[in-house]
Amino acid sequence: MEDAAPQGLRYPWDIPPEHGAEAIEVAPGVLWLRFPLPMKLDHVNVYALDEGDHWTIIDTGFASKKSKALWHDAMAGPLGGKPIKRVVVTHHHPDHIGLAGWFQTEFGAELVTTRTAWLTARMLTLDEQEVSPAESLSFYRKSGMDRDLLDKRTTERPFNFADVVTPLPLGYTRIKQDDQITMGGRVWDVHIGNGHAPEHATFWSRDDNLVIAGDQILPSISPNVGVYPTEPMADPIGEWLEACERLAPLARADHLVLGGHKLPFTGLPRRMEQLIDNHHGALKRLQDFIETPKSATECFPPLFKRSIGEGEYGLALVEAVAHLSHLYQTGHATRTLRAADGAWVYQRKG
């Protein structure tokens, strides 16, 4: 979800590093690199932490020939030829875990992540589908998906996790809430987020002002918070708000936040307020809008306040379902199946 221009944030670097070819040192021994993504959000940030004779990297980008070539350029260039011996993954999404298995098998790197991230990613890489399963199509229909798009999804090969994620071999090192991990000459506290991805790891340095936030905390967009066919009655909005409210007291004005997308920034206390307020505001607009029954796709205008194209449609749909289902599960809305198209429609209570 795109935010209004966030107030009170500062961006120490206006221009990001060139994909794979260069790095910006954001703190002693901490390099910021960037890799391309083939979508509207066209990049992912990666961080390399100097361990003396090797590197720890945070997240990896998609698995593709282009990404692998750019990683070889990075290892020969800004990483100075030193090996990558540890890959720390913040969460299971493909742009973050895509090449973790490659680093394990090709370079002998250790994979460090949360249990949910590893189990989910490994399961999804093994679940390759030639056509969308009936459960997915039912979910889209009940969400009010446009008929033409639903027909396309019925016949087209769906996105498969394995298309952009290398196989994950057996074995990883688990991190969890309240763990400590040493990276780049610093001791970091592990704090777990939720909502955007289950058991999403963030890292808070005890030795300076760095926070490695993955996609849990981003500066100018709110991370996508969606409900998917795998768990249609999940409540990621509730989990998101709980995580934000739990992480907010940790925030300091001098924290330099290194996120998975966009630019590093300071002003974290204000940003945590904005992230919380953004979803409360969306829920309020939505509640006002569903005075008469509406499906998820009919709720795009009040949620996103802009036109939604086909490229963004899927993410918009799962986010609209998440907000409506939160209202339903917290007793602020009812839902019924509409006879005309089989879509769930939600209506404000009271």
Q: What is the pLDDT along the chain (350 residues), one digit of tens a residue?
A: 555 445 789 999 999 999 988 999 999 999 999 999 998 899 999 999 999 999 999 999 999 999 999 999 999 999 999 999 999 999 999 999 999 999 999 999 999 999 999 999 999 999 999 999 999 999 999 999 999 999 999 999 999 999 999 999 999 999 999 999 999 999 999 999 999 999 999 999 999 999 999 999 999 999 999 999 999 999 999 999 999 999 999 999 999 999 999 999 999 999 999 999 999 999 999 999 999 999 999 999 999 988 898 889 999 999 999 999 999 999 999 999 999 999 999 999 97
Bridge partners (DSSP) listed for residue 84: 55
The CA distance from 317 to 333, in Å, is: 18
The CA distance from 311 to 53, in Å, is: 43
The CA distance from 26 to 341, in Å, is: 52
Supply the pLDDT for residue 177. 98
Whose structure tokens read 């107030």? 7
Supply the pLDDT for residue 3. 57
Whose structure tokens read 């340095």? 205
The CA distance from 47 to 49, in Å, is: 7
41 contact partners, CB below 8 Å, separation of at least 6: 221, 261
The CA distance from 90 to 226, in Å, is: 18
57 contact partners, CB below 8 Å, separation of at least 6: 46, 47, 48, 49, 84, 86, 87, 88, 103
The CA distance from 313 to 120, in Å, is: 24
Supply the pLDDT for residue 121. 97
The CA distance from 348 to 346, in Å, is: 7
Q: For 245, list phi and psi in degrees, rounded to 5.
A: -70, -30
Bridge partners (DSSP) listed for residue 181: 188
Enumerate domains of the chain plus CATH numbers: 24-130+160-289 (3.60.15.10)
Chain-centre distance for alpha carbon 323:
17
- What pTM did the predictor assign? 0.95
The CA distance from 11 to 158, in Å, is: 38
Supply the pLDDT for residue 79. 98
**Using an 8 Å Cβ cutoff, are 272 and 18 in contact?**
no
The CA distance from 172 to 3, in Å, is: 36
Task: Please provide the distance, in angstroms rounded to a whole number, between the alpha carbons at the two ends of the chain.
Answer: 28
Supply the pLDDT for residue 11. 98
**Residue closest to 94 by CA, chosen among 131, 15, 39, 52:** 39
For residue 324, give both structure tokens. Answer: 């409506």
Supply the pLDDT for residue 2. 53
Q: For 114, list phi and psi in degrees, rounded to 5.
A: -80, 160
